[in-house]
Structure formats: structure tokens, C-alpha cells
Amino acid sequence: MHRTLIKKTRICLAVVLLAICCFSCKAGPSYPIRAYLNTLAFKSGIGMSSDEEENRKALIDWKVIERKDLSLLDEALDYGFLSYSICNLLQKDGDPFEVLQSEDFFDHSIKEKTKVSEEEALKLIDKAVVLLNQAHFLEAYEETLKEEVKGIDDADLETGDLVYDPERSAYAIVAKTEDGNIETRKAEYEEIYEDLQIEISSNIDFNQATVIPYGETYEDTSYVNELYHLLSSNDSHVFHTSGFRVSYSLSTSGIDLHISKNENGLNSYFDVSINNVKADLKWNDRKNDLKNCFFSLKFNTTQKLGVSCSRYKNYRLKFKDLDTSSFKSLLNSLIVPLNDDEEVSIPLCKVKVPIGNIPGLDLVLDLRIRLYASGKMEFVLRNAHQLGFETRNGKIRYINQHDHDLNCILQASAKGVLSSDLGVEALGVLLADAQLDSGVRGVVRSTLHFYDEEGNVESEASAIPYSGLSEICQYDPDVLVCGDVSLHWLMDLGLNTSRSQMNKLGFSRSFSLLDEEDQIFGNLHHIENGHFVEKCTRNKRVQLKEMETVRSDHIVLDSYAEVLKIDETYQIIVKALPEGYTEEDLLYSSEDASIASVGNGVIKALVPGSVRIKVETKDKAHDAYVNILVSTG
């Protein structure tokens, strides 16, 4: 009987342990409150320090949590604590758990003490931050000046008087010279305003913009780039700067710029589009004590950098009939590679646009680009940004949200960066601003593969751009080219530069958001024909005779990437198939038939964009892809 009791006790314990394990697996791993608070501080922009203690202190200053909550740091996060902190962040009244449940943050079946997994917590933080960064203000403006404003032509002006200067569209301070002449200087914020309250949410209308080019301005609508066209068809404003031709057009939604140059066999262009700009501003300054403020700029950018290259066309015949040794010698003697670090910085223009109907309130943009390209390439980078900050009771959090995607054909090292300074001015005084540098950088290293008569291969690295080598070697069947690329995002942000009033109040911050660690295509780094492939196909030569005699363990194509113009076609060539398959066993499909269609192996380009064409066996056992970029040229 004693043994039976022990056996039953062991069974009960096993059942209890199994139930606990099952519950733990269902609930997911617990998420410590310590880690949750650090993530909440960082994503909301309240605390962006590497020091977790500093971030928790910032959350206390913002009244997201209380000091007593620090005793819970090592406990597992539950929905009760999550609701409490997020409602404080969003300044919502009522029972926190019931409020978030009623707003569909989480399912109504969830209990307050239910533990929150890390994955679920991150989703709820992201949702809260989106709401936190949303704002809509009714237009309002009120100012109290330090002193009476005099006319700049008044006869009784004295040194130190505040005047309005219509030429500058700004306030100025009078300074008398020794000979009695009147001079003025730009007035500082503290010399103008006793109180200043502004509230506005406005979509910026660029048809009202004033554009000041950094270069010689002239009208010329006859010029058309040989291969590429402006994003907008309205190409009526033209100027030159730093040796580049710049044209721009304005519309209600934004500004489009086209920068181009043809030099030393490189026809390069950089198209920039800034649109859908929305400004939200709440400025509550009383007696130069700025307690509560909200500043946000939402906008989209499109950057399109392209280079066509004709510098190598005269070398084709010279290399065509050479043996390998002579080929190498002549290649190195004739062509000097470019330095990857030779980039150019091009100032473009300053743009000034009224915000709403408040007199003297303007959005100001200062635009420049930095670019470098050593050979043929094309990329289109699209960004959606929200930048800014919010202050509560003299404490600041930063708004810093970005989304981006990239399509590219890369056959040479290249770099393209758009530098945008965006700010809000009140009668010439810069209240707040954001300085954003965003773009991509790719470094392509070339490799030449030399084949002898027996099919043996010798590989050699080359400093000459991949695009140039491909063009030179395209008629030599014994020389094949590969490339290895490092491609990464670039993004740096500075909020409230030294020229802004917010900087003078001590509210400024710089961020390095994306750098060389932020690789765009992960582990895919090998390229052929300008597109990424899983592995090098140049290492083993395929002797193409009869299709039936060429076998492989996978589908082998003649090309895995092509650049086509609109309405151009390309026939997919199959070089080898796995054992037991013929070309009749292949199916062809387009991942986006609106960009490029395919039928019986013939691809037709329809509209600009990038798409993959799939080649697969009918039994789905084998497949391969052709990357297609449909160019605007």
C-alpha cells in the first residue's frame, strides 16, 4: 500500500509539472520589466542612452513610471504594468487596463496578471509610439513683443530699437554708426518676443515656394538628358552648380530636382523628390520659458542615382583576340581605376514655403547631395520620415521614425546621399530644425576568371570597376567577371542645430542611425550582371553543345540579371538542366506581371521597376530566377 501511495504521488507531481511546462510554453518566455522599460524609453525617444539607469530616470521625469516602480525591475512584465506605463505615456485617463483593452491594444480575454512575451510587448510599444507621435492642432497664433516695433524709415530711430525689415522679412535691431548713418542687424529671439504661442498642423503646398539656387540661374527647356528623365515632366527651372546641371519643378505636393553631368565617359544623374510634407507645431513660450512644445515633420523622399558608362567602348577590339597573359598586361597598362573615395558635394538650393495662414511662419529647406560612382549602376531609394521632438515640463523626447526600401542594379562602387536641413522660421528666427543625411553606399570588388583550353580557371582580383570589366570582356569567351559587394544604408540625424532657438535652450541631439553595420541584403553579396546571386556561377565552366548532353544538379541560366528598357524583350537561355528534365518541363512566371511579363521564356518590360522572373520545373523540384530591372531610359 505504501508503494502504491508513493507511485500515485509521483504521477500527480509529474502531471503538475507537465501542466506548468505546457502553460509556460503557451504563454511564451517572460519579459523582464527592466528590459521592457529600456525598450519603451528608447522607442518613444524619451531615453536614448546606452545607460539603462539614465533611461529609467528619463521615464520618471516624463511621469511614465514612478520611482517606487523600480523595485519591480526583475519581475516579469504583465498586462497590468504594461497598461499602466503606456497610459501614462499617452496621458490617458481612466483605469489603464480597461482603457487599452477598449482601444483594442489586446484581446478582451486577456487578464491583467497575464504575462507579456517580448514579441507582444514590442508590438504594443510600436503601436503606442505611433499614437504618441500623431498630432493635430487647430491654427492659432499669439505674440507679445518685448517692445514696440518701429518702421525702418522712421526718423526717430535710436540704437537698440526693434524694427521690421521688409527686405529680410524679419525683425532687426537698430545700430547707429559714428557718422549718424543707420544700420541694422538681425534680431535674436530673446530681443523680439516676450510671449509666443503657435499651434498649427499643415500640409505644405510647394506651389507657394520660393527657391533660391546655389548657382548660376538661367531658363532653358531644350535640354534633355541622353538616357534619363526628370521624375516630373515639368522641367522649366534650370541652373548650374559645381559643374552639374540642375533642373527643378514644383507642385502642390513637393519639389523634384534632376542633377546631371556627362564627363570622362560617365553620364551620371541624381534625381531627388521631396513630397507629402506635413508640419505639426505647438510652441508655448511664456517669458522665454518654453515648457511644452511639439515639433514634427513628416515627409517622403525618393533618390534615384544612375550612371551609364561609355568609357570602355574603344577597348573592346583591342582585347578581343588576345591570349590571357597579353590580356592582363594590356588591361593594367591602359586602364587606371578610379579612387573609391572621390566623392563630390553639390549644394543645390534653399527653399522657403509658407506654413498655413500664419504670417511670417515658414518651412525652410536647405538641400545638397553627395555622390560618387566609378561605373555603371542604378538605384532607387524611397524613404518615409518623421522627425522632431516633444517637450513636457522642460523635459524632451525625440521623434525619429524612418522606413525605407531600395531597388538597384549595382556594377560599380557608388555612393548617393541627400542632405536635407528642414526647419520652421517665425519672421526669420529659426525656432527648430532637423538635419538629415540619408542614402546608400556600395563597394564592388571585381574578380576576373581566365580559362585555358582544358577548362581550368585562374582567378584574379581587379581594381577596375565591375561594369568596365564586363563591357570589355563580353566578347572574350575565355574571360568571365564576378563582383562582391558591400551595400549598406547611410543615415545621420541632427535635431536642433546651433542656429535654432531650441539649441540655445539646450535641446539638441545627434544620431548615427544607419552605417556600415546595416547591410541591405544580408549574406547575399555576390553579383553577376549587376544582381545578387546565391553563389558564383563563373567558377566552373559549362561547355554548351547539345542541350541534352549538358547536365547539372540545378537549373543553369545564361544570365541571372538583365536591365531592359520599356517594351524591350529578352529571351531566357537555359544552359543546363538536372538529369531527367528537358526544356519542355519548364514553367516561367513573373512575380509582378505589371512590371514585366513572361511567356515561353520571353520577358517583356512594361513599366519602370524591378521584378524576379521564376524558371521552375513542372514538379516544383528545381527553380532559378532572373532579376529584371526595367529602366526609365
Pairing mode, strands 244-250 and 414-426: unpaired
Give the separation between CA 113 and CA 81, rounded to whole angstroms. 9
Report whether pLDDT(95) > 90. yes
pLDDT average, residue stretch 417-435: 94
**Stretch 527-551: mean pLDDT:** 57
Residue 152 is part of which domain span?
Answer: 140-202
* Whether residues 61 and 164 fall in one domain: no
pLDDT higher than 60, residue 340: no
Residues 257 and 401 in one domain: yes
Average pLDDT over residues 241-260: 90
101-141 confidence digits (pLDDT tens): 999 999 999 999 999 999 999 999 999 999 999 989 999 99
Average pLDDT over residues 494-517: 86
Domain total for the chain? 4
Burial of 520 (0-12, 13-18, 19+ CB in 10 A): buried
- Using the predicted structure, report yes or no on whether residue 23 has a pLDDT greater than 60: no
Q: What is the reported pLDDT for 13?
A: 46
pLDDT top residue among 14 and 535: 535
Q: Work out the percent of the chain whose per-residue pLDDT is above 70.
A: 79
Q: What is the predicted pLDDT for the residue at 371?
A: 85
pLDDT-derived band at 253 (thresholds 50, 70, 90) equals very high
- Radius of gyration, alpha carbons of the chain: 32
Q: Return the pLDDT at 2.
A: 47
Question: Would the pLDDT of 87 be above 90?
Answer: yes
- Same domain, residue pair 195 and 211: no
Poorest-pLDDT segment among 9-13, 30-34, 274-278: 9-13
For residues 562 and 353, which has the higher predicted lDDT (pLDDT)?
353
Going by pLDDT thresholds of 50, 70 and 90, the confidence category of residue 596 is very high
The candidate with the shortest Cα–Cα distance to 124, out of 96, 159, 154, 143, is 96
C-alpha cell at 398: 525625440
Measured in Å, how far apart are the chain's first and last C-alpha atoms?
91
Percent of the chain with pLDDT strictly greater than 90: 42
- Please name every residue paired with 626 in a beta bridge, in sequence order, or none if there are none: 613
Exposed/middle/buried for residue 306 (C-beta within 10 Å: 0-12, 13-18, 19+): buried
User: Among 90-99, 247-256, 447-456, where is mean pLDDT lowest?
Assistant: 447-456
Domain assignment present for residue 13? The answer is no
pLDDT at 408 over 80: no
In terms of average pLDDT, the best of 437-446, 455-464, 544-553 is 437-446
| 151 shares a domain with 104 | no
Residue 281 CB partners (closer than 8 Å, separation 6+): 137, 198, 199, 200, 201, 294, 295, 296, 355, 424, 431, 432
- Per-residue pLDDT for 1 more than 50? no
* pLDDT at res. 478: 76
- 159-172 pLDDT, tens digit per residue, is 889 998 888 788 99
Is 11 within a domain?
no
Check residues 546 and 486 and name the one with the higher pLDDT. 486
Query: What are the beta bridge partners of residue 45?
Result: none
The residue with greater pLDDT, 435 or 314, is 435
Of 132, 154, 177, the position where a domain reaches its end is 132
Q: Which residues contact 290 (CB under 8 A, 6 or more apart)?
A: 283, 284, 391, 394, 502, 505
In order of 243, 270, 305, 366, 541, the CA distances from 261 in angstroms are 7, 9, 12, 22, 40
pLDDT digits (tens, 9 = 90+) for 199-234: 999 999 999 999 999 877 655 444 434 333 333 344
Closest by alpha carbon to 275, among 247, 309, 298, 294?
298
Q: Residue 19 belongs to what H/E stretch? A: helix 2-27
Is there a domain that residue 270 lies in? Answer: yes
One domain for residues 289 and 228: yes
In a domain, 281, yes or no: yes
- Top pLDDT among 488 and 399 is at 399
pLDDT grade for 513, boundaries at 50, 70 and 90:
confident
What pLDDT score was predicted for residue 228? 36
When pLDDT is cut at 50, 70 and 90, the band that residue 28 belongs to is low
Report whether pLDDT(502) > 90. Answer: yes
Q: Is the pLDDT of residue 320 over 80?
A: no
Q: Is the pLDDT of residue 178 over 90?
A: no
What pLDDT band is residue 26 in, cutting at 50, 70 and 90? very low
Residues 85 and 113 both lie in one domain: yes
In a domain, 271, yes or no: yes
Stretch 260-266: mean pLDDT: 72
User: Do 296 and 429 sit in the same domain of this protein?
Assistant: yes
Strand (E) or helix (H) holding 197:
strand 193-203
> According to the model, what pLDDT value does residue 531 have?
60
Distance, CA of 117 to CA of 27 (rounded, Å):
7
Q: Are residues 503 and 610 in the same domain?
A: no
Whichever domain contains 599, its CATH number is 2.60.40.1080
Predicted local confidence at residue 50, as pLDDT: 85
The residue among 202, 217, 247 that closes a domain is 202
For residue 288, the model assigns a pLDDT of 67
Residue 15 counted as domain residue: no
- Asked whether residue 57 is assigned to any structural domain, the reply reads yes
How many residues does the structure list for the chain?
A: 633
Q: Do residues 184 and 241 share a domain?
A: no
Local confidence band at 407 (pLDDT 50, 70, 90 cut-offs) = confident
Mean pLDDT of 379-393: 90
The reply to whether 536 falls in a domain is no
Give the position of cell 492642432: 137
- Model confidence, pTM: 0.74
Q: Which pLDDT value is given to residue 238? A: 86
Q: Are residues 277 and 395 in the same domain?
A: yes
Compute how many other C-beta atoms are within 10 angstroms of the C-beta atom of residue 115.
17
Q: Is 448:469 a contact under the CB 8 Å cutoff?
A: yes
Pair 373, 492 in one domain: yes
- Give residue 310's pLDDT band: very low, low, confident or very high (50, 70, 90): low
Which of 90-94, 401-405, 612-616 is predicted with the least confidence, judged by mean pLDDT? 401-405
Q: Which one-letter amino acid corresponds to residue 509?
A: R
Considering 234-243, 263-272, 278-287, 316-325, the range whose residues carry the highest mean pLDDT is 278-287
| Eight-class DSSP state of 337 | P
Nearest Cα residue to 42 out of 131, 122, 135, 134: 122
Check pLDDT > 60 for residue 147. yes
**Per-residue pLDDT tens digits for 148-158:** 888 888 878 88
Q: Is the pLDDT of residue 545 over 50?
A: no
pLDDT digits (tens, 9 = 90+) for 342-376: 678 899 999 999 999 998 999 999 999 998 877 77
Give the pLDDT confidence score for residue 473 in this predicted structure.
Answer: 72
Q: At what angle do helices 52-61 and 33-44 cross, to 10 degrees?
A: 70
Q: pLDDT value at position 179?
A: 73
Cβ count within 10 A of residue 621: 12
- pLDDT of 118 reads 95
Closest CA to 88 of 69, 74, 73: 69
One domain for residues 234 and 150: no
Q: What is the mean pLDDT of the chain?
A: 82
**CB of 269 within 8 A of CB of 228?**
yes
